[in-house]
Amino acid sequence: MRALRLPDWGLPPVLTDVDRPTPRDGEVLLRVEAAGLCHSDLHVIDASPGGMPFRPPFTLGHEIAGRVAAVGPAVAGIAPGDRVAVYGPWGCGECRRCSAGRDNYCDRRSELPWAGAGLGLDGGMAEYVLVPSARHLEPIGELDPVQAAPLTDAGLTPYHAIQKCRPALLEGSTVAVIGVGGLGHLAIQILRTLTPSLFVLAVDVREEALALADRCGAHLSTRMSADTGRVLRDASGGYGVDVVLDFAGTESTLDLSARSLRADGELVVVGSGGGRLSVRKPGPLPQGGRISLPFWGTRPELTEVISLARSGALRVEVERFPLSAAGEALARLRAGQLKGRAVLVPD
Ligand code: FEH
Ligand code: ZN
Ligand code: ZN
């Protein structure tokens, strides 16, 4: 079967032929119908030896949807032909966190030589993918797999981040979404769906991203500039923004987030842009300010995200590429030239 493999650190991914795996015990083999591209895939590709808690060679892709092709003898409740999305942050499956469906915060993460699908274990940028347990599979019904695949990360990650600050999302609260890419555009839709009375402000550097924010339901979208802190403050009645979701996590966006945050506000840092923010008193953060660093999402939350999408509340902006054009898709992602999420479809 064809698969996009990372052969070793420092080498580019290659599309090559590998054996199609056979499911054993509780494993499930999926025929991949869609695999999303994520900025984290670039971090993995660009990592140097020791930079990640796993090592190549493996197949990339941690945003997967497809159809069950075969099941191991111990599998129950899932059968060939079932259409599913894959929960990606596979944990040990035994600790308290994994037992509660919070594999994203597995207590034994540091002991595992992998972090999930396409993260040390073979992922979904391929014709088939082997999933270690049926517990990672979420039925998608009639949902288009090209919509479902990005929801397993680009949808699940903002959903989890929003659940973390849900108590602060009161009637009429102001929320800033900084970075309207694959995750940010879905964050806006989730915010508008879960708490319709929120006042949602969107910030990005690209005009097409601001247009996407408007289409997704942002009340105000503003281009990042030296003035953005004032714009956000003015838009929140001069008090500052109740919740900031930073999907970039760069030095400049963290600085903007801190400057725009209301006293007793919540800063949720989702993006892995490598920016730093000084946490000291007095310092750049307002009094009562709270920071969280959410990672991906939980298995029950994936059920909730797929249910929202099946109800029509979420629509992923997608750019499709055949698996054979994975190199072009990665180049467009790296150049910041994608509108929404790139999704590979095996050809
Ligand atoms: C995946 C693997 C490692 C780091 C970050 C990620 C995110 O894409 C998950 O949302
Ligand atoms: Zn990701
Ligand atoms: Zn665990």
- Residue 42 is predicted with a pLDDT of 97
- Residue 196 is predicted with a pLDDT of 83
Q: What is the mean pLDDT of residues 136-152?
A: 98
153 lines ligand 1 (CB under 6 A): yes
- Residue 41 is predicted with a pLDDT of 97
Instruction: Report the distance separating Cα 329 and Cα 320, nearest Å.
Output: 9
247 lines ligand 1 (CB under 6 A): no
- Residue 90 is predicted with a pLDDT of 96
Pick the residue whose CA is nearest to atom 2 on ligand 1: 40
**Residue 73 above 90 pLDDT?**
yes
Q: What is the mean pLDDT of residues 262-284?
A: 96
Q: Which of 114, 295, 333 to mutate to test the pocket of ligand 1 (most atoms within 8 A of CB)?
A: 295
- Residue 251 is predicted with a pLDDT of 97
- Does residue 297 fall inside a structural domain? no
Q: What is the mean pLDDT of residues 141-147?
A: 98
| Cβ(323)–Cβ(344) below 8 Å | yes
Pick the residue whose CA is nearest to atom 4 on ligand 1: 40
Cis peptide before 57 (omega within 30 of 0): yes
Its domain, for residue 322, covers 2-139+317-345
Mean pLDDT, rounded, of the chain: 97
**Residues at Cβ < 5 Å from ligand 2 ion:** 38, 40, 153
Instruction: Report the distance separating Cα 182 and Cα 37, nearest Å.
Output: 9
Q: Which of 6, 39, 43, 64 to mutate to test the pocket of ligand 1 (most atoms within 8 A of CB)?
A: 43
Higher model confidence: residue 240 or residue 339?
A: 240
**Residue 310 above 90 pLDDT?**
yes
Shared-domain flag, residues 42 and 100? yes
**Residue 85 above 90 pLDDT?**
yes
Q: How confident is the model at residue 285 (pLDDT cuts 50, 70, 90)?
A: very high
Indicate which ligand has the atom closest to the C-alpha of 157. Answer: 1
Q: What is the mean pLDDT of residues 320-327?
A: 98
Domains held by the chain: number: 2
- Does residue 61 fall inside a structural domain? yes
Shared-domain flag, residues 111 and 42? yes
Pick the residue whose CA is nearest to atom 7 on ligand 1: 40
| Cβ(199)–Cβ(177) below 8 Å | no
Lowest mean pLDDT: which of 102-106, 195-199, 251-255, 315-319?
195-199
157 lines ligand 1 (CB under 6 A): yes
This prediction's pTM: 0.97
**Relative to the CA of 119, which ligand 1 atom is closest?**
2
Domain of 93: which CATH number?
A: 3.90.180.10
Q: What is the mean pLDDT of residues 337-346?
A: 92
- Does residue 310 fall inside a structural domain? no
75 lines ligand 1 (CB under 6 A): no
Closest residue by Cα to residue 159 from 275, 308, 26: 308
Shared-domain flag, residues 327 and 232? no
Closest residue by Cα to residue 177 from 161, 163, 193: 161
- Does residue 204 fall inside a structural domain? yes
Shared-domain flag, residues 10 and 132? yes
- Residue 339 is predicted with a pLDDT of 80
Q: How confident is the model at residue 203 (pLDDT cuts 50, 70, 90)?
A: very high
Shared-domain flag, residues 105 and 224? no
53 lines ligand 1 (CB under 6 A): no
Q: Is the dihedral of CA 13, 15, 18, 21 positive or negative?
A: positive
**Residue 26 above 90 pLDDT?**
yes
**Residue 340 above 90 pLDDT?**
no
Residue 343's DSSP bridge partners are 36, 320
**How far away, in angstroms, is 221 Cα from ligand 2 center?**
25
CA dihedral of 104, 100, 267, 41, whole degrees rounded to 10:
20
Shared-domain flag, residues 178 and 248? yes
